[in-house]
């Protein structure tokens, strides 16, 4: 359980950890979204995960897809003009779209380490 290659290849873990943290802070309606899509519109994105927080998409690893964004943190409305929404729609068509509650998935020690660092700031 680690984040050494952040943001590359750790979107599910990163998003899940952030989702748990936001839930603990009192955010409501936090969902972890994951999708696997192999379509021509997204040749650079075979799989990805991000959060939906109170109706908006929040992605802390989108910068791994430099063709899509260079922002460290992406917050998008759920509308066709935004790439995460379009990617989610493609995943729904392909049957690979998944929503779940974020959890620590055996990464409690990593989560506690991150939270301890955040509290020091």
Distances (CA, A) of 100 to 15, 33, 86, 103: 11, 7, 19, 9
pLDDT digits (tens, 9 = 90+) for 6-64: 999 999 999 999 999 999 999 999 999 999 998 888 888 899 999 999 999 999 999 99
d(C-alpha 30, C-alpha 69), whole Å:
23
For tokens 């050494």, what's the residue? 4
* Average pLDDT over the chain, rounded to an integer: 92
- What's the pLDDT at 52? 97
3-state helix/strand/coil string of 69-95:
CCCCCEEEECCCCCHHHHHHHHHHHHC
């Amino acid at each position: 359980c680690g984040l050494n290659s952040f943001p590359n290849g750790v979107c599910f873990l990163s998003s899940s950890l952030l989702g748990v943290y936001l839930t603990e802070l009192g955010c409501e309606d936090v969902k972890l979204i994951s999708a696997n899509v192999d379509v021509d519109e997204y040749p650079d994105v075979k799989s990805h995960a991000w959060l939906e927080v109170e109706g908006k998409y929040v992605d802390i690893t989108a910068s791994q897809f430099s063709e899509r964004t260079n922002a460290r943190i992406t917050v998008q409305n759920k509308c066709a003009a935004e790439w995460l929404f379009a990617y989610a729609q493609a995943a729904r068509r392909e049957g690979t779209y998944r929503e779940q509650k974020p959890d620590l998935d055996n990464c409690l020690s990593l989560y506690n380490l991150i939270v301890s660092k955040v509290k020091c700031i």
